[in-house]
């Protein structure tokens, strides 16, 4: 079920949310602050999710069973 397309689909959703934040941010004196804060928050959440997702999808260290005898362990 989980594959690399999830990250691409998530990125497309994040870009859409960032564009919505750009166009629908409150008008006024602090518009740049609102835009920057919302878009930075969206991007940070996506990066944290993507790193966590990809770390679980392709782990650097392969889990090993500790209850096997030495004769059955393949290095």
Tell me the residue range of the domain where 32 lies. 26-56
Say yes or no to pLDDT of 73 above 70: no
Q: What is the chain's alpha carbon radius of gyration, rounded to the nearest angstrom?
A: 21
Do 10 and 46 meet the contact criterion of CB atoms below 8 Å apart? yes
- pLDDT one-digit tens code per residue, 6-65: 889 999 999 999 999 999 999 999 999 999 999 999 999 999 999 999 888 888 887 776
| 51 found inside a domain | yes
At 22 the pLDDT is: 93
Say yes or no to pLDDT of 68 above 80: no
Element (H, E) at 45: helix 31-57
Say yes or no to pLDDT of 67 above 80: no
> What's the number of domains the chain is made of?
1
| 43 found inside a domain | yes
Q: What is the pTM of this model?
A: 0.72
At 75 the pLDDT is: 58
- pLDDT one-digit tens code per residue, 15-28: 999 999 999 999 99
């Amino acid at each position: 079920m989980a594959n690399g397309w999830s990250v691409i689909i998530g990125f497309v959703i994040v870009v859409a949310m960032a564009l919505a934040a750009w166009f629908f941010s409150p008008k006024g004196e602090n518009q740049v602050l609102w835009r920057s804060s919302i878009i930075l928050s969206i991007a940070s959440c996506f990066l944290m999710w993507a790193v966590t997702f990809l770390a679980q999808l392709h782990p650097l260290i392969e889990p090993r069973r500790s209850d096997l005898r030495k004769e059955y362990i393949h290095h």
